[in-house]
Chains A and B, each alone.
Chain A
Amino acid sequence: MTQTDFSTILPVTLLAAWASLLLLADLFLSRERKGLTTLLAALGLALTMGVTLAQSGLEAAPGFGGMVMRDGFSTFLNALFLLTGLLGVAVSYGYNHRLGIERGEYYPLLLFSVAGMMLMAQAANLIVVFLALELLSIPLYVMAAFAYPKIQSEEAGLKYFLLGAFASGFVVYGIALAFGATGTTDLAQILASVSMGAANLPLLTAGAGLLLVGFGFKVAAVPFHMWTPDVYQGAPTSVTAFMAAGAKAAGFAALLRVFGMAFPALAADLAPVMAILAALTMILGNVVAVAQTDIKRMLAYSSIAQAGYILMAFAPFGDESARTMAVAGGLFYLVAYTLASFGSWGVVIALEQSEEKGLQIADYNGLGRKYPLLGVAMAVFMLSLIGLPPTLGLIGKIYLFRAVIEGGLVWLAVIGALTSLLSAFYYLRVVVNMFMREGDPQVEREWWLEFAIGAAAVVTVVVSLWPFPLFDWAAQAVMTLF
């Protein structure tokens, strides 16, 4: 192990080590001082963020014989995952305390999951992809069931685990087929073997298809989305918030890395499939969301629909020039989605009462009147998810639509546009309830939670007015990918 090797995975190692130590440290903390665990977890994430950003100036470098990569792409995503982790800790603290699920292992699990996500962004070998997938998923299975003995939470954990294990099976099988077709699991070598004509293309295509199924499960793309509403609803909301943003982004990291680096040759075959998946995901997610009355289920279907928009980034893969722009657009939209999604789940957490109370959309009646700032923040998130100014969601959607049109898929852009219109219907319902109906919502005032919500809302608005740096960063990140 050389110094470069170590430097490439320094952030992941740091975080994983921190998580292990935190698990130990938690044993020695008395029940009354569990808050310290939270603080230490946040500190670990912040430290790792610092290291990641400090490394962003370094040149792209492979490590461990090409098993992992550290490049602009991984730095961008790692920063996003760490942000997700920090927000996850912020929204969990008060909520877990309030629901009596404040157990020490929660934060180490969260940290391990973030480490898995980061490894996913860095993976340059299918074996590491699988490793990262398991590292990020297994803690999530546990966290989904964290509110035991609450039956819904246990059900969510089990359901997520069973279907997740099934999806992992697909990934492993896909890796095996890809190995059979090319004789390697290294992404760069798979590409080389394809371009030399040495690969068994039908077998490789089948492998890629199976990988797509596995990752499609992680990002909750139709038709692999069935688990999403139940798991999102049953899991503790703090976990759902983390899962909806982090696990989805990690799935996209894998898709982008694997399909960007290894399978460009298959692009012509896969791009139409991606386009159809994106279209189906947008349509189904938005249509079903309209019928929901439970805010958690509505947001779950909304997150399915949002995955459809991000999937649009893969549709123009067949077109060399449009591809870079599309992936940059995908990364950009991921940031917009992460903020809006986390923010809105944060508001759900603020309103949720014990015994499943405060989770109906009707419970939001009068929120804007009683708590104007919270109401405005939620309205900002809803507007961002619809894609209206002045929010980041609009800029992100425009970015993606542009890429898709540039790739010649005007029909997909039209579907994206029309489903956005449809989505306005159910997102607006929340806004209508908050500002235009009378009601007396009960809100838990928690400093960290409100800080996370407020920060997400402010960033969503401000960066939409001055999006240049984020544009630039996303474009830089993609440069190293192809």
Chain B
Amino acid sequence: MNFLLEPLSIVTFSPLLGVLVLLFLKSEQKAALRWTALITSLVTFLISLWAFFFSGLYNPASGGLQLVAKYNWINVAGWDIRYYLAADGLSILLVLLTTFLTPIAILSTWTAVEERVKDFMLFFLLLEVGMTGVFVAQDLFLFYIFWEFTLVPMYFLIGIWGGPNRLYAAVKFFLYTMAGSILMLLAILWLGINGGTFSVPDLVAQGNIPVDVQMWLFIAFAAAFAIKVPMWPLHSWLPDAHVEAPTAGSVILAGVLLKMGTYGFLRFNLPLFPEASAQAAPVIGWLAVIGILYGAAVSFAQKDVKKLVAYSSVSHLGFVMLGLFALNAQGVAGAILQMVNHGLSTGALFLLVGMIYEQTHTREIKVYGGLWKITPIFGTLMLIVSLSSMGLPGLNGFVGEFTILLGAFGAGMKGGVFAGAGGFWLAGLAAVGVILAAIYILYMFQKMFLGPAGEVTHHHTLKDLNWREVVTLLPILVFIFWIGLYPKPFFDLMMPAIENLLKPFGG
């Protein structure tokens, strides 16, 4: 059982201990159930901090895979499947984002989830295992198992605790995601058969896949990841899932699950199929820009604030994809940082929307108005998070988007991947997206928080945020300012790995 004592195994599987405790608690002991889940996820977060920063086992200056846990799992009859976990600069921030957001999401359910608390917490902790596993698995087979496994708990979270249309949303979420991943499975098998191993670093090192085959494999992997991101035009499951999911589910869905898609591109598509990636870059770049503009335009048209936030994700993730496929250091670094930023800002937006929904049970923008006067703390926090989401300088969103745009412009220059595919336009239109984001977010803020009191604001005796809700949001705010004012430590964590990653692209 040595494999369970490796630092990354402990990070990945420690929520299971909480699951074990939960199983022995009664469904009526709601407080105990909540505290168990919260403490488990907090401990998991602390362990992940320890593993990366305080154990001395992880050297941030090195670009290679570290904290390696590598054991034979199935090697019989021509199979070579390993239990292979490791992390590098590409995954570390996402692992931390997962372990950071999970306790926050659990804390947000304190009063929002009253029914079947036990099942809810069980699924939530299982989901955390799956997500962390996705970000640290270095064996394709193991990765696929974690990847598919995240589907199951999320499906239940949406389907049991979701809104009125939850069954439709849950099944749609499930089928969409599975449609992508089942093709990826075949590509994984092809790689495993022809490479003789499922271990990603070994396959990357072999790297002798003919370009035309690369393209097919690239498409198969991209299908899975693009649906998850989601990239336009494969995004239609997202608004349904987001709107119907319970608040904590939306936070994790936007904060972490979508990042699994972008991370997949980063971890698998770019290193495994470098030629195909370079060829596909302009296409993906344009799809990303369409996503940015489309997401922004549709957000603007929404009457439901949660839907607005959902569509804004399509727009924001477009930036991430644009940065990734700029295939230069700025672009990729900006993209990784923007993944974190989006997790923080959109996560916080969903939390805030959930907090007001809990009181009023409506999410229609037009029934609010003048909220700031009645609930000043809520208004202030909403303002900060909104500004972060639209990319105001000094807050986190700006750093990410600015770096991505730098990368995209760079890629549009001579020798870049977007040159010859309207590279300048690509970056220029993406910049327009930033302005559109300001419009729809400020529009929403204005309608809900300023002006005369709306119908609901008028009739309800609305309470401002309580201390628990503020505590839920505070950690996110710290990072919003930290990344906005001093992003260097975050870039430092990822740069060595990015340099490694971009070697085949001449970057």
> Is there contact, CB below 8 Å, between B186 and A410?
yes
Distance in angstroms from A480 CB to nearest chain B CB is 14
> Is there contact, CB below 8 Å, between B145 and A405?
no
Quick check: is B82 within 8 A (CB to CB) of the other chain?
no
> Is there contact, CB below 8 Å, between B193 and A472?
no
> Is there contact, CB below 8 Å, between B149 and A390?
yes
> Is there contact, CB below 8 Å, between A406 and B74?
no
Quick check: is A142 within 8 A (CB to CB) of the other chain?
no
- A417 and B185 in contact (CB under 8 A), knowing A389-B149, A406-B193, A435-B156? yes
> Is there contact, CB below 8 Å, between A388 and B170?
no
> Is there contact, CB below 8 Å, between B74 and A467?
yes
> Is there contact, CB below 8 Å, between A413 and B182?
no
Quick check: is A468 within 8 A (CB to CB) of the other chain?
yes
> Is there contact, CB below 8 Å, between B148 and A424?
no
- A435 and B160 in contact (CB under 8 A), knowing A389-B149, A471-B76? yes
> Is there contact, CB below 8 Å, between A424 and B178?
yes
Quick check: is B79 within 8 A (CB to CB) of the other chain?
yes
Rounded to whole angstroms, the CA-CA distance of A474 and B141 in the bound complex is 20
Distance in angstroms from B390 CB to nearest chain A CB is 36
Rounded to whole angstroms, the CA-CA distance of A418 and B116 in the bound complex is 35
> Is there contact, CB below 8 Å, between B76 and A436?
no
Across the two chains, which residue of chain A brings its CB closest to B126? A390
Quick check: is B190 within 8 A (CB to CB) of the other chain?
yes
Q: 1/0 per residue A307-325: CB within 8 Å of B?
A: 0000000000000000011
Quick check: is B159 within 8 A (CB to CB) of the other chain?
yes
Distance in angstroms from B160 CB to nearest chain A CB is 6
A417 contacts across to B, CB distance below 8 A? 182-183, 185-186
Rounded to whole angstroms, the CA-CA distance of A428 and B159 in the bound complex is 11
Rounded to whole angstroms, the CA-CA distance of A413 and B187 in the bound complex is 10
Quick check: is B175 within 8 A (CB to CB) of the other chain?
yes
Across the two chains, which residue of chain B brings its CB closest to A420? B182
Q: 1/0 per residue A389-413: CB within 8 Å of B?
A: 1100010001001100110001001
A421 contacts across to B, CB distance below 8 A? 175, 178-179, 182
Q: 1/0 per residue A364-403: CB within 8 Å of B?
A: 0000010010000000000100001110001000100110
B76 contacts across to A, CB distance below 8 A? 468, 471-472, 475
Distance in angstroms from B118 CB to nearest chain A CB is 9
Rounded to whole angstroms, the CA-CA distance of A324 and B119 in the bound complex is 44
Across the two chains, which residue of chain B brings its CB closest to A399? B79
Quick check: is B167 within 8 A (CB to CB) of the other chain?
yes
Q: Which interface residue of B119, B179, B186, B193 has the most chain A CB atoms within 10 A?
A: B186
Rounded to whole angstroms, the CA-CA distance of A402 and B74 in the bound complex is 14
Distance in angstroms from B205 CB to nearest chain A CB is 22
Rounded to whole angstroms, the CA-CA distance of A280 and B483 in the bound complex is 56
Quick check: is A6 within 8 A (CB to CB) of the other chain?
no
A325 contacts across to B, CB distance below 8 A? 77-78
Q: 1/0 per residue A449-468: CB within 8 Å of B?
A: 00000000000000000011
A428 contacts across to B, CB distance below 8 A? 155, 171, 174-175
Quick check: is A432 within 8 A (CB to CB) of the other chain?
yes
Rounded to whole angstroms, the CA-CA distance of A424 and B177 in the bound complex is 11
> Is there contact, CB below 8 Å, between A388 and B152?
yes
Residues facing A in B165-215 (CB within 8 A) are 166-167, 170-171, 174-175, 178-179, 182-183, 185-186, 189-190, 192-193
A372 contacts across to B, CB distance below 8 A? 119
Across the two chains, which residue of chain B brings its CB closest to A475? B77
Quick check: is A328 within 8 A (CB to CB) of the other chain?
yes
B152 contacts across to A, CB distance below 8 A? 383, 388-389
Across the two chains, which residue of chain A brings its CB closest to B168? A432
Chain A count of residues within 8 A CB distance of the other chain: 35
Residues facing B in A106-164 (CB within 8 A) are none
Quick check: is B151 within 8 A (CB to CB) of the other chain?
yes
> Is there contact, CB below 8 Å, between B189 and A436?
no
- A418 and B170 in contact (CB under 8 A), knowing A394-B145, A436-B159, A472-B77? no
Distance in angstroms from A385 CB to nearest chain B CB is 14
> Is there contact, CB below 8 Å, between B193 and A405?
yes
- A418 and B182 in contact (CB under 8 A), knowing A388-B151, A424-B174? yes
Rounded to whole angstroms, the CA-CA distance of A417 and B170 in the bound complex is 21
Across the two chains, which residue of chain B brings its CB closest to A328? B77
Residues facing A in B188-245 (CB within 8 A) are 189-190, 192-193
Rounded to whole angstroms, the CA-CA distance of A435 and B167 in the bound complex is 10
B79 contacts across to A, CB distance below 8 A? 471
> Is there contact, CB below 8 Å, between A405 and B189?
yes
> Is there contact, CB below 8 Å, between A432 and B171?
yes
Distance in angstroms from B140 CB to nearest chain A CB is 11
B189 contacts across to A, CB distance below 8 A? 398, 401-402, 405, 413
Rounded to whole angstroms, the CA-CA distance of A437 and B170 in the bound complex is 13
Q: 1/0 per residue B261-277: CB within 8 Å of A?
A: 00000000000000000
Distance in angstroms from A469 CB to nearest chain B CB is 9
> Is there contact, CB below 8 Å, between A398 and B185?
yes
Across the two chains, which residue of chain A brings its CB closest to B78? A325
> Is there contact, CB below 8 Å, between A405 and B190?
yes
Q: Which interface residue of B77, B141, B174, B179 has the most chain A CB atoms within 10 A?
A: B77
B156 contacts across to A, CB distance below 8 A? 435
> Is there contact, CB below 8 Å, between A432 and B159?
yes
Across the two chains, which residue of chain A brings its CB closest to B151? A388
Rounded to whole angstroms, the CA-CA distance of A418 and B186 in the bound complex is 11
B171 contacts across to A, CB distance below 8 A? 425, 428, 432
Across the two chains, which residue of chain A brings its CB closest to B130? A389
Rounded to whole angstroms, the CA-CA distance of A306 and B148 in the bound complex is 20
Rounded to whole angstroms, the CA-CA distance of A388 and B166 in the bound complex is 22
Quick check: is A99 within 8 A (CB to CB) of the other chain?
no
Quick check: is A291 within 8 A (CB to CB) of the other chain?
no
Distance in angstroms from B306 CB to nearest chain A CB is 20
Rounded to whole angstroms, the CA-CA distance of A372 and B22 in the bound complex is 14
Q: Which interface residue of B175, B178, B182, B193 has the most chain A CB atoms within 10 A?
A: B182
B166 contacts across to A, CB distance below 8 A? 436
Across the two chains, which residue of chain B brings its CB closest to A417? B182
> Is there contact, CB below 8 Å, between B148 and A389?
yes
A420 contacts across to B, CB distance below 8 A? 182
Distance in angstroms from B4 CB to nearest chain A CB is 12
Contact partner, B186, options A324, A414, A472, Cβ 8 Å: A414
> Is there contact, CB below 8 Å, between B77 and A471?
yes
Across the two chains, which residue of chain A brings its CB closest to B216? A410
B186 contacts across to A, CB distance below 8 A? 401, 405, 410, 413-414, 417
> Is there contact, CB below 8 Å, between B175 and A424?
yes
Q: Which interface residue of B78, B116, B156, B193 has the most chain A CB atoms within 10 A?
A: B78
B146 contacts across to A, CB distance below 8 A? 389
B151 contacts across to A, CB distance below 8 A? 388
Distance in angstroms from B227 CB to nearest chain A CB is 12
Rounded to whole angstroms, the CA-CA distance of A425 and B174 in the bound complex is 9
Across the two chains, which residue of chain A brings its CB closest to B162? A436
- A436 and B182 in contact (CB under 8 A), knowing A394-B148, A402-B192, A425-B175? no
B190 contacts across to A, CB distance below 8 A? 405, 410
Distance in angstroms from B163 CB to nearest chain A CB is 12
A474 contacts across to B, CB distance below 8 A? 77
Distance in angstroms from B70 CB to nearest chain A CB is 16
Rounded to whole angstroms, the CA-CA distance of A436 and B170 in the bound complex is 10
> Is there contact, CB below 8 Å, between B182 and A432?
no
B116 contacts across to A, CB distance below 8 A? 369
Distance in angstroms from A153 CB to nearest chain B CB is 35
A-B pairs, 6 with minimum CB distance: A475-B77, A436-B159, A417-B182, A389-B145, A389-B149, A402-B189
Binding site for A on B (CB under 8 A): 73-74, 76-79, 116, 119, 141, 145-146, 148-149, 151-152, 155-156, 159-160, 166-167, 170-171, 174-175, 178-179, 182-183, 185-186, 189-190, 192-193
Q: Mind listing 22 A-B residue pairs with CB under 8 Å?
A: A325-B78, A388-B148, A388-B152, A389-B146, A389-B148, A394-B145, A394-B148, A398-B185, A401-B189, A406-B193, A414-B183, A417-B183, A421-B179, A424-B175, A425-B171, A428-B174, A428-B175, A432-B159, A432-B170, A468-B73, A471-B76, A471-B79
> Can you add 7 more A-B contacts, CB < 8 Å, to A394-B145, A401-B189, A402-B193?
A325-B77, A388-B152, A413-B186, A414-B183, A417-B182, A432-B159, A471-B77
